[in-house]
Amino acid sequence: MASGLLTGKVAFVTGAGSGIGRATCRILARDGAKVIAADRNLQAAQETAQQLGAERAAALEVDVSSTTSVQSAVVAALAMFQQAPSIVVNSAGITRDGYMLKMPEHDYDDVYSVNLKGTFLVTQQFAKAMIEQRLSDCSIVNLSSIVARLNNVGQANYAATKAGVISFTEVASKEFGKFGIRVNCILPGYIDTPMVAVVPEKIKQQVVQRCPLGRLGQPEEIAEVIAFLASQKAAYVNGAAIEVTGGLK
Ligand code: NAI
């Protein structure tokens, strides 16, 4: 049942074919937004959109690491619901874990290109559209990670990009505040999605033991905080980095 908090808004969600991005599409649509589910995996994005129905959602193929792909996505997004998105969620992300001494350069570059450069490209291009269309009450939410604070061995590439997302978010919040665009990021703990499914069982058990709530998080539990940040309930929240980890430090 839609709460109506986001009625009249269009949301553009990357990484929408899976995990947190897919759950975010569901929750934003529940709250009344029209949702553009964007992913490099078009079929997965289409499944997300189909679950919500054509009136509330549409799917789009985008590679967030490519300038031309993101520029095309802006043009397509504007046409989809005859309105520029005033909510953008940067959920596309990848891991390529490995010890630093053995990490191939392309594993570093790939993680950087999607997680940090991708967040930059999408934010830059969609903020431009928001400003050109003179939209008010805009919100951009970026997905960092608690790994930005835990700095786990084997995650030099991922941890660095997610720490970068926190700094990037803060700069964007300072540059865009005057345009009515709030920019915040979330640091999820370990959330039960395909990304975490590949983490060895032993490590997951250690994480659950260290987590005060004694369990992994659910993607909807991150999506609810994203919906809050997207709404006017968070009208004075800007430049924040919010941990949603069940207390895991
Ligand atoms: P996921 O692996 O379930 O979904 C990621 C989605 O991003 C996939 O649908 C994939 O196709 C898409 N994607 C990958 N590269 C892309 C590209 N270049 N362009 C467009 N789409 C692309 O991951 P999950 O768990 O939903 O994670 C979402 C975000 O939350 C990521 O940024 C991740 O780093 C972050 N995060 C996840 C945590 C977790 O425990 N699952 C914890 C902390 C942060």
How far, in Å, CA of 23 to CA of 173, rounded?
Answer: 25
Which is nearest to 220 in space by CA: 187, 249, 192, 185? 192
pLDDT for res 3: 74
Count of all residues that appear for the chain in the document: 249
pLDDT for res 116: 98
Q: Is residue 2 part of a domain?
A: no
pLDDT for res 160: 98
Give the CATH number for residue 37.
3.40.50.720
Sheet with 34-39: list strands edge to edge.
57-61, 34-39, 10-14, 87-90, 138-143, 181-188, 241-244
Q: Is residue 140 part of a domain?
A: yes
Quick one: which atom of ligand 1 is closest to the CA of 17? 9
What's the Rg (C-alpha) of the chain? 17
Q: Is residue 227 part of a domain?
A: yes
Q: Is residue 83 part of a domain?
A: yes
Q: Is residue 1 part of a domain?
A: no
The total of structural domains in the chain comes to 1
Cβ of residue 188 lying under 6 Å from some atom of ligand 1: yes
Q: Is residue 3 part of a domain?
A: no
As a whole number of Å, the end-to-end CA separation of the chain is 34
The alpha carbon of 173 and the centre of ligand 1 are apart by a number of angstroms equal to: 23
Q: Is residue 145 part of a domain?
A: yes
Q: Is residue 4 part of a domain?
A: no
| Residue 206 domain boundaries | 10-244
Residue 190 bears catalytic tag: no
Which is nearest to 21 in space by CA: 50, 5, 44? 44
pLDDT for res 111: 98
Q: For each of the chain's 249 residues, which pLDDT tens digit applies?
A: 557 999 999 999 999 999 999 999 999 999 999 999 999 999 999 999 999 999 999 999 999 999 999 999 999 999 999 999 999 999 999 999 999 999 999 999 999 999 999 999 999 999 999 999 999 999 999 999 999 999 999 999 999 999 999 999 999 999 999 999 999 999 999 999 999 999 999 999 999 999 999 999 999 999 999 999 999 999 999 999 999 999 999
pLDDT for res 112: 98
Candidate from 12, 18, 68, 186 with most ligand 1 atoms within 8 A of CB, to mutate:
18
pLDDT for res 189: 98
The alpha carbon of 127 and the centre of ligand 1 are apart by a number of angstroms equal to: 21
pLDDT for res 212: 98
Predicted ipTM of the assembly: 0.99
The alpha carbon of 234 and the centre of ligand 1 are apart by a number of angstroms equal to: 24
pLDDT for res 79: 95
Q: How many CB atoms are closer than 10 A to CB 103? A: 16
